[in-house]
A = this chain, B = another copy of it.
Amino acid sequence: MDRSIMVKWINEGNVSIPIRLIQDYKKLGLNESEVMLLIHFHSFIQRGNSFPTPQLIASQMSLSETECLSVLQSLLKRGFLELTEQSDENNIFYEAFTLSPLWDKLVTLALEENLEETTQDNYEEEQ
């Protein structure tokens, strides 16, 4: 084993995932297969590929391609992932997946929990 394999590892890099996604996916009604599928999308989008094919993602999951597509459709329908149409500088249209709906749900949850804490604090202070 020489150093080059280690350099290759470092170049392949890491994906940064908000702690809140790890902590709160269950509260959003997601199970482990669903959140992992979202993490696969996140990992591609972060590296500049915003349209990974479902086949590619299925190949990295323990689900069959059919199961994977069915999870994907369910996530799109329940509003955790969205397929949008974008245009580049030459006005060429292309499709891109975005996790914005997922982040919006997580932020909404964080806001609600923050509100509860504040209300709780005010209540306790008043006693």
Contacts and interface: CB of A to CB of B under 8 A. Distances in A.
Say what secondary structure dominates the interface of chain A: helix
Chain multiplicity (copies): 4
B3 A107 contact: yes
A19 B26 contact: no
B14 A18 contact: yes
A104 to B, nearest CB: 5
Interface string A24-50: 111000111101100110010011110
Contact of A100 (B7, B100, B104): B7
A14 to B, nearest CB: 4
Interface string A1-25: 1111111111111111111101111
Interface stretch (A73-81, A86-94, A108-116): A108-116
